[in-house]
């Protein structure tokens, strides 16, 4: 039987892979573009996204647990995935994470890579230039990684 540290490492790895797949491949364009709206449609889009994301995490976690014979409890998995889903939903409403960025002095970084940032990338003609990401995306993903860490700790420890 693996020790708790090994279980944590396997669980975190499974959750991280499932997160990247669920957040980028399983999320629909409609969910991505609507989930941040301050409306019923935005809340529903975010809920649908977090539901498919959590199902992706549960599936990969179950496959990992079966393949590695991990001693996971239903209580631990439920608590960990619930914390992760709730934190993901909160952050993906977008205005909530933007407020947190402002409150922690990261507002300028949050706007980096967008037209709202004073040094936004532009083409020679002055049009917005393509780029690989934004500060908002970096803060979003690091926020999710933090809660994946907490979820893995809970799942491994209970």
For residues 105 and 127, what is the distance between their CA atoms, to the nearest angstrom? 28
**Which residues form the domain of 62?**
4-157
Tokens found for residue 148 = 């994946």
Question: Mean pLDDT of all residues in the chain?
Answer: 92
* Rounded (to 5) percent helix, strand, coil in the chain: 70, 0, 25
For the segment 139-154, the average pLDDT, to the nearest whole number, is 97
The residue among 120 and 85 whose pLDDT is bigger is: 85
Tally of domains within the chain: 1
Spell out where 13-155 has E strands: none
The residue among 119 and 47 whose pLDDT is bigger is: 47
For residues 26 and 49, what is the distance between their CA atoms, to the nearest angstrom? 8
Residue 124 pLDDT more than 80? no
List pLDDT tens digits, range 50-98.
Answer: 999 999 999 999 999 999 999 999 999 999 999 999 999 999 999 999 9
Q: Give the per-residue pLDDT at 121.
A: 66
Residues 6+ apart with CB under 8 A from 32: 49
């Amino acid at each position: 039987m693996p020790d708790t540290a090994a279980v944590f490492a396997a669980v975190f790895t499974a959750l991280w892979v499932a997160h990247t797949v669920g957040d980028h491949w399983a999320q629909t364009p409609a969910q991505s573009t609507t989930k941040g709206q301050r409306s019923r449609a935005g809340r529903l889009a975010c809920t649908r996204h977090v539901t498919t994301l959590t199902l992706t995490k549960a599936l990969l976690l179950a496959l990992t647990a079966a393949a590695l014979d991990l001693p996971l409890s239903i209580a631990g998995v439920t608590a960990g995935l619930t914390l992760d889903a709730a934190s993901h939903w909160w952050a993906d409403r977008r205005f909530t994470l933007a407020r947190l960025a402002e409150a922690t002095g990261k507002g300028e970084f949050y706007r980096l890579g967008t037209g709202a940032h004073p040094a936004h990338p532009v083409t020679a003609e002055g049009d917005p230039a393509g780029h690989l990401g934004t500060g908002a995306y970096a803060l979003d993903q690091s926020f999710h990684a933090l809660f994946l860490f907490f979820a893995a700790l809970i799942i491994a420890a209970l």
